[in-house]
Structure 1
Amino acid sequence: MRNTVTPIDPVALTADLIRCNSVTPAEGGALVLLEGLLTSAGFSCTRVDRGGIANLFARWGRPGANRSFGFNGHTDVVPVGDIAAWTHDPFGAAIVDGWMYGRGATDMKSGVAAFAAAAIDFIRQTPPDGAVILAITGDEEDIAADGTVALLDWMAANNEQMSVCLVGEPTCPNVMGEMMKVGRRGSLTAHFTARGVQGHSAYPHRANNPLNAMVRLMDKLATHELDTGTEHFDPSTLAITTIDTGNTATNVIPATCRATVNIRFNDCHSGASISDWLRAEAAAMQAATDIQFGVTTTISGESFITPPGELSALVAKAVQAETGVTPVLSTSGGTSDARFVKDHCPVVEFGLVGKTMHQVDERVEVAQIHHLKAIYSRILADYFA
């Protein structure tokens, strides 16, 4: 006989999570709230805190089950910015005209609430032959070194395994159901320092201006075609994000100039190959100008693809059934914690419309939260059928 326990309301849970001031890296009570809810529903919960970051691992079912479905998400949020510009309290979860306002409403407390509610209802109503795992971090919006990575490290050390994983990030540009992510581009940030000889601007021959060399180098990088795209990826992109000297004088040629570029790269490249190319270009400019160049790179993640197959078909079928929309399989957008999960198990991403994430007056359509829970519930039912 099925359990008739009252279903978890994902809208109320989203509101409760928004009211937790969990601006990264603060936990803000969000994971404490989820741990209490999941524990009361029969999940085995473990806090996997590391480096001052709070993380939560929750499993229903026996460890080492022959199959396990995992959800991954985060409860940390970006800062609110100018609070005076908000129409509603960013931690108030006000519902106005069918929309819930608050920091994290879209990215991604609604997603966490939807999959937590779906998981709890599912194991109560139709306990599966297998395990349901929730891996929730408080460090996705920052450097992410001690968030999902810490959870995966702990899982490996404790013989915990997800067979497949769905990351609940917002994935739809405009319409609920229109897009899911089966991969992501890699991301690399490079910092350049150019050192020349300071001098008077009236006597440029007595100086060696690092700005001239830096501008030439930045133009060469920005106009270079990295590639034309691949089967699953758009062309790689390079954006100059700053060129700076800190020079406030109009009649002084500075000795030093700095610049930063960010590159989003597809599977034609690796972080190492991009780094090698940038250093080679800087070395060539140094040889041509006698300006000394230094280059440091930070790789936030490599590109990856989960080839279309059983997992993407499972998710797409559930989305189509609940929304009437067949999602496009995409690798667009920035990075997510799927870049870490892909080394553990096959992973895809599906979530809400993300148009207002990180904005002032971030908000989510209340009806979408219910839709998302229904989609996640169907995915679980179909996976364990």
Structure 2
Amino acid sequence: MTELTELLSELVRVPSVGGSPHEAGIQAMLADWMRAEGLDVDLWELPLPELTAQPAFPGMEVPRERAYGLVGRLPGTGGGRSLMFNGHVDVVPPGDLAAWTDDPYSGRVDGDRLYGRGACDMKGGLVAALLAVRELKRDRPRGDVLIACVAGEEDGGLGTYGLLDRGWRADACVIPEPTGLAVVPANAGALTFRLRVPGVSAHASRRTAGVSAVEKFLPVFTALRELEAARNRDVDPLMKRWDVPYALEIGTVHAGDWSSSVPDVLVAEGRFGVALGESAQQAKAALEAAVGKACAADPWLAEHPVTVEWWGGQFLPGRNPDPAFTAAVVGATGVTPEQWGAPYGSDLRLLAGAGIPTVQYGPGSIELAHAPDEYVPVSEVVAARATLTRLAAAHCA
């Protein structure tokens, strides 16, 4: 276990925030680890201009000058099925440092908990996969075992999109995202949107001479909450464990440019949950219709409607196309784990969309991801490593 915690602490201490130089640097570190373990290594710079120009590109929310793809391959002895472990190396920013007990990148171990940004989401799962591959070297299966380390998952899926574009495939895939050791064969989607609410500027002392964009946003926000409630009344059975499986939230609001002026524009950005089986076009049409209905009910907005823009990460929903592989992952756990669909987007939809049976299974709770004092239970990382080892040995035999 010491080796496991040392490796995980080392990775957590790398502040590999999406778009930062460390997001690229951690890939070089992992490539060195793979080479030292005797894996075949493919480390390449992602062709960003080429990828981002493709119609199917899933979006990107942070600027990047460069990013890298990385695949390590443990060659099989021949004749078996291949299996990929896919884990993202990018993490979200730590947020308010005062909310953390200590350094967000400490990698500190306290009992069964290893703390730090990315420990749960998802370097714990990545380490479980890395050490599973190491264990498989002792009794190598017939099929290849791949471990893909990808960048840009948090803001759209750049790394896995680039991985598939490069031609990497496998007969099945496990993403060791934090599921609390549950087996997750499906994900909701999430689309990023921007609203622009128009108003008319005036001196605040004569506010009735203007039109407040903040005030005009209120009925739109109410309409969005009503839309969310309607979309969550009847959901797929896999999603019933969540109180709001397809959440719609406004994450940022910016209005006006002076405290003594009536704000003439409000810009709000948010995420829109996409239901299992729903297309991006259907989801976008539903939100645009709700905004349009709210505008039609207000005399000012009827003449000056709110505009909707779709930008940034565009996570479509996804579902594992092969129930037999889900059953294989369940069997490899050695217990009877929970099975549910995740309310957030992930790279599952890109891999399943490419025809690769894919499930999520990994250590840590999603409630801890992106939060202060993020941690992963070390015992769950150990359990995930054992499951992934058993799964690969059986699947690739």
TM-score interval w.r.t. the shorter chain?
Answer: 0.7 to 0.9
> What is the rounded CA distance, in whole Å, between the counterparts of 1:73 and 1:108 in structure 2?
7
Is residue 369 of structure 2 the alignment partner of residue 357 of structure 1? yes
Aligned equivalent of 1:161: 169
Aligned equivalent of 2:246: 236
Is residue 50 of structure 2 the alignment partner of residue 47 of structure 1? no
Is residue 320 of structure 2 the alignment partner of residue 306 of structure 1? yes
> What is the rounded CA distance, in whole Å, between the counterparts of 1:164 and 1:285 in structure 2?
45
Contact residue 187 and residue 302 of structure 1 kept, 8 A: yes
Which structure has the larger Rg over C-alpha atoms?
1
Unaligned residue ranges in structure 2 (runs of 5+): 49-65
Aligned equivalent of 1:110: 124
Q: 1:152 to 1:254 in 2, by over 3 A?
A: same
> What is the rounded CA distance, in whole Å, between the counterparts of 1:46 and 1:257 in structure 2?
46
Aligned equivalent of 1:257: 266
Match of 2:283 among 250, 264, 274: 274
Contact residue 39 and residue 72 of structure 2 kept, 8 A: yes
Q: Please list the CA deviations of residues 275-298 of structure 1 after superposition, one character each: whole Å capped at 9, or x if unmatched.
A: 223333444444553223221023
Contact residue 97 and residue 104 of structure 2 kept, 8 A: yes
Contact residue 233 and residue 266 of structure 1 kept, 8 A: no
Contact residue 16 and residue 26 of structure 2 kept, 8 A: yes
Aligned equivalent of 2:178: 170
Contact residue 198 and residue 264 of structure 2 kept, 8 A: yes
* Aligned-residue identity in percent: 27
Unaligned residue ranges in structure 1 (runs of 5+): 1-6
Is residue 197 of structure 2 the alignment partner of residue 194 of structure 1? yes
Q: 1:211 to 1:82 in 2, by over 3 A?
A: closer
Residues 1-385 of structure 1 mapped to structure 2, 5 A cutoff = 9-25=3-19, 26-27=22-23, 29-50=25-46, 51=48, 52-61=66-75, 67-83=81-97, 85-122=99-136, 124-145=137-158, 147-155=159-167, 160-172=168-180, 177=181, 179-199=182-202, 206-224=209-227, 225-227=230-232, 228-234=234-240, 236-246=246-256, 248-249=258-259, 252-267=261-276, 269-287=278-296, 288-289=299-300, 290-298=303-311, 300-307=314-321, 309-319=323-333, 321=334, 324=335, 326-344=336-354, 345-354=356-365, 355-385=367-397
Deviation (angstroms), 1:307: 5.0
Q: 1:247 to 1:111 in 2, by over 3 A?
A: same
Q: Please list the CA deviations of residues 247-305 of structure 1 after superposition, one character each: whole Å capped at 9, or x if unmatched.
A: 5445x543223333421121353221222233334444445532232210235211121
> What is the rounded CA distance, in whole Å, between the counterparts of 2:113 and 2:395 in structure 1?
31
Q: Please list the CA deviations of residues 350-376 of structure 1 after superposition, one character each: whole Å capped at 9, or x if unmatched.
A: 011224332333222322222221111
Contact residue 70 and residue 135 of structure 1 kept, 8 A: yes
The amino acid that maps onto 2:267 is R
Deviates more, 1:295-304 or 1:356-365: 356-365
Q: Please list the CA deviations of residues 62-93 of structure 1 after superposition, one character each: whole Å capped at 9, or x if unmatched.
A: 79966210000022222233445544444342
> What is the rounded CA distance, in whole Å, between the counterparts of 2:97 and 2:220 in structure 1?
40
Contact residue 18 and residue 105 of structure 1 kept, 8 A: yes
Contact residue 222 and residue 240 of structure 1 kept, 8 A: no
> What is the rounded CA distance, in whole Å, between the counterparts of 2:206 and 2:99 in structure 1?
49
Pairs aligned (count):
363
Q: CA RMSD in A?
A: 2.9
TM-score normalized with structure 1 length: 0.83
> What is the rounded CA distance, in whole Å, between the counterparts of 1:53 and 1:63 in structure 2?
32
Deviation (angstroms), 1:107: 1.6
Contact residue 9 and residue 117 of structure 1 kept, 8 A: no
Contact residue 160 and residue 347 of structure 2 kept, 8 A: yes
> What is the rounded CA distance, in whole Å, between the counterparts of 1:86 and 1:255 in structure 2?
38
> What is the rounded CA distance, in whole Å, between the counterparts of 2:284 and 2:394 in structure 1?
43
Q: 1:43 to 1:276 in 2, by over 3 A?
A: same
Contact residue 88 and residue 101 of structure 1 kept, 8 A: no
> What is the rounded CA distance, in whole Å, between the counterparts of 1:82 and 1:256 in structure 2?
28
Deviation (angstroms), 1:223: 1.2
> What is the rounded CA distance, in whole Å, between the counterparts of 1:205 and 1:30 in structure 2?
55
Deviation (angstroms), 1:212: 4.3
> What is the rounded CA distance, in whole Å, between the counterparts of 1:41 and 1:60 in structure 2?
9
Q: Secondary structure at the match of 2:193?
A: strand
> What is the rounded CA distance, in whole Å, between the counterparts of 2:279 and 2:23 in structure 1?
34
Deviation (angstroms), 1:204: 6.6
Q: 1:12 to 1:161 in 2, by over 3 A?
A: same
Q: Secondary structure at the match of 2:272?
A: strand
The amino acid that maps onto 2:358 is V
> What is the rounded CA distance, in whole Å, between the counterparts of 1:152 and 1:362 in structure 2?
31
Contact residue 77 and residue 141 of structure 2 kept, 8 A: no
